[in-house]
Chain A
């Protein structure tokens, strides 16, 4: 008899989620396509004036990233809840918060990392300068995990609801406000040639806070959703 270690369990959750995503790889493209389409809508609505697009590009990209993250986050626990494997994950001798962190990590890897590759292209299409695009990528790298972590709480809370979709947005979007402010603020500052270290350190602080704090309410809400 061999008791699995927490490290093994963490790895097993990530490995399983990546494997599942690989088996459904056609679905991975959806949030990406959504991200690109939302960004495309803005020049169509505003007109293609270069100075204007350049000015609002960081805002557009970040709002689109936020919405794309909101769209994909519902899958975080939904499938597990429906097929009963969530119960299996809760009923382990391991800390549920840590397993939640594993699930969020897998989700972040699958939903946000592809975004990091396509965001520079979007920046170019909106006439951003290359050094500004660098800062944009940095904010996405620091900010997207926070979106997944916070979104996890709301998803866990709305699991038991039959129509959770609209409510999920209401729960999550107010909590996304600080990240949106600091991230688009950083890119804005970079564009006007101001230092961005203040914004970025705030984002780092929020990221570490989110990693340590959010798994607890998520785990509590998951258990509650099974009641």
Chain B
């Protein structure tokens, strides 16, 4: 993977006539994980919405590989997002969900491979409706793995996960970073991701 870089300059965000944050700067390089912390309502989700390009910052700029993110299509080629909802269709099977995601992006691994990796082998034909909350998160993770997306943006990835699944999730985040990927995430939990990889922003 080529080295990638996300740079934020003097970001500020006003929401509902309230200043959430201002003059926020950071640079995230390939191989790094950015953890965004803060109390509820501090603007974590708003910051993620800005970083995904859904919301324009009230001032400041974002650069992806030193180019301003104006033409979001280029940026979206490299970016994946998992929000509060997993973005899965309840009445499609696991495989159908992944196939749809691959048809919109660049395919890396086969579906059977990633299902194996996240420990969902044998669930390919299962409707998402019949999966547990933890299994759905894993399936969303599988979606990240089966498409070529250097930058992961994860909003509270560990909610509704059991200990083992959190471990698994963290392992994939770490591997992704070690392979030259970038991860931005918010979390309430303490993570066991090594500090050498980790940058923190407290809102």
> Does A touch B (CB under 8 Å) in the complex?
yes
- The answer to whether A46 has its CB under 8 Å from any CB of chain B is no
- The answer to whether A2 has its CB under 8 Å from any CB of chain B is yes
- The answer to whether B133 has its CB under 8 Å from any CB of chain A is no
Known contacts A4-B102, A23-B91; A91/B52 CB under 8 A: yes
21 A/B residue pairs, CB under 8 Å, sorted by A:
A2-B106, A8-B103, A9-B104, A12-B99, A12-B103, A16-B92, A20-B92, A23-B91, A83-B85, A83-B90, A87-B52, A87-B83, A88-B81, A91-B76, A91-B79, A92-B104, A93-B77, A95-B73, A226-B49, A226-B52, A227-B49
A80-139 contacts to B, CB under 8 A, are 82-85, 87-95
Chain A contact residues, majority secondary structure: helix
Contacting pair A93 B76 (CB below 8 A): yes
Known contacts A93-B73, A93-B74; A84/B104 CB under 8 A: no
Question: CA separation between A88 and B79, bound complex, in Å?
Answer: 10
Contacting pair B96 A19 (CB below 8 A): yes
Residues of B within 8 A of A16 (CB): 89, 92, 96, 100
Contacting pair B81 A91 (CB below 8 A): yes
Contacting pair B105 A85 (CB below 8 A): no
- Point out residues on A near B: beta carbons under 8 Å: 1-4, 8-9, 11-13, 16, 19-20, 23-24, 82-85, 87-95, 223, 226-227
- The answer to whether B84 has its CB under 8 Å from any CB of chain A is yes
| Max count, chain B CB within 10 A of own CB: residue among A1, A11, A93 | A93
Contact with A along B38-69 (1 / 0, CB 8 A): 00000000000100111110000000000000
Contacting pair B85 A1 (CB below 8 A): no
Contacting pair A1 B54 (CB below 8 A): no
Question: CA separation between A83 and B84, bound complex, in Å?
Answer: 9
Contacting pair A92 B87 (CB below 8 A): no
Q: A1-B148, A83-B85, A227-B55 are in contact. List 5 more A-B contacts (CB 8 A).
A: A12-B99, A82-B85, A83-B87, A85-B88, A227-B49
Contacting pair A85 B104 (CB below 8 A): no
Residues of B within 8 A of A90 (CB): 54, 76
- The answer to whether B165 has its CB under 8 Å from any CB of chain A is no
Contact with A along B145-158 (1 / 0, CB 8 A): 00010000000000
Contacting pair B103 A9 (CB below 8 A): yes
- The answer to whether B173 has its CB under 8 Å from any CB of chain A is no
Contact of A1 among B79, B99, B108 (CB under 8 A): B108
Residues of B within 8 A of A24 (CB): 91
Q: Min CB distance, B121 to chain A, in Å?
A: 23
Q: Min CB distance, A225 to chain B, in Å?
A: 9
